[in-house]
């Protein structure tokens, strides 16, 4: 089975570094994008199975990026991730096609579970 390819999108470089290493260590193929636009560009070059998308970013925020991803790559699973917890944005994110919504800092195992769950794997 091909390794699951994940695109981490966050404007916090420190978070991207640590998270990508940890996920990579668990056998996932991880790429990183510091912004929504870059994430879209990278997806255009090479699609990913799952996008882990930060909610609050400068320029293109999480929901806007989510909309564009769902437009261009409907098959890509998106898990929203944020430091900002509101019921409203969670509901709208899921309504717009996100698979799930997690609050930072999240347990790595929880994130892995959600990634696999989104792909229908155990």
- 102 binding another protein? (CB under 8 A): yes
Q: Contact 42/9 with Cβ under 8 angstroms?
A: no
- 107 binding another protein? (CB under 8 A): yes
Q: How far is the CB of 30 from another protein (least distance, A)?
A: 13
- 58 binding another protein? (CB under 8 A): no
Tell me which stretch binds another protein (CB under 8 A): 15-23, 36-44, 45-53, 59-67: 15-23
Which one of residues 1, 2, 14, 45 is an interface residue with another protein (CB under 8 A)? 14
Q: Contact 33/13 with Cβ under 8 angstroms?
A: no
Q: Contact 43/53 with Cβ under 8 angstroms?
A: no
Which one of residues 21, 59, 71, 72 is an interface residue with another protein (CB under 8 A)? 21
- 72 binding another protein? (CB under 8 A): no
Report the phi/psi class of residue 56: left, alpha or beta, with left for phi > 0 and alpha for psi in -120 to 50.
beta
Q: How far apart are CA 5 and CA 12, in angstroms?
A: 20
Tell me which stretch binds another protein (CB under 8 A): 27-35, 45-53, 65-73, 104-112: 104-112
Distances (CA, A) of 112 to 37, 38, 87, 92, 109: 25, 23, 23, 23, 5
Point out which residues bind another protein (CB under 8 A).
12, 14-15, 18-19, 21-22, 25, 56, 82-87, 90-91, 94, 100-108, 110-111
């Amino acid at each position: 089975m091909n390794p699951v390819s994940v695109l981490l999108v966050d404007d916090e470089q420190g978070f991207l570094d640590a998270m990508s290493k940890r996920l990579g260590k668990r056998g996932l193929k991880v790429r990183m994008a510091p912004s929504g636009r870059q994430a879209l560009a990278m997806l255009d070059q090479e699609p990913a199975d799952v996008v882990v998308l930060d909610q609050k970013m400068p320029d293109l925020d999480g929901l806007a990026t989510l909309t564009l991803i769902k437009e261009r790559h409907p098959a890509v699973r998106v898990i929203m991730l944020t430091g900002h917890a509101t019921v409203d944005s969670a509901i709208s994110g899921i309504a717009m096609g996100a698979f799930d919504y997690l609050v930072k800092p999240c347990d790595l195992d929880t994130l892995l579970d959600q990634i696999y769950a989104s792909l229908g794997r155990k």
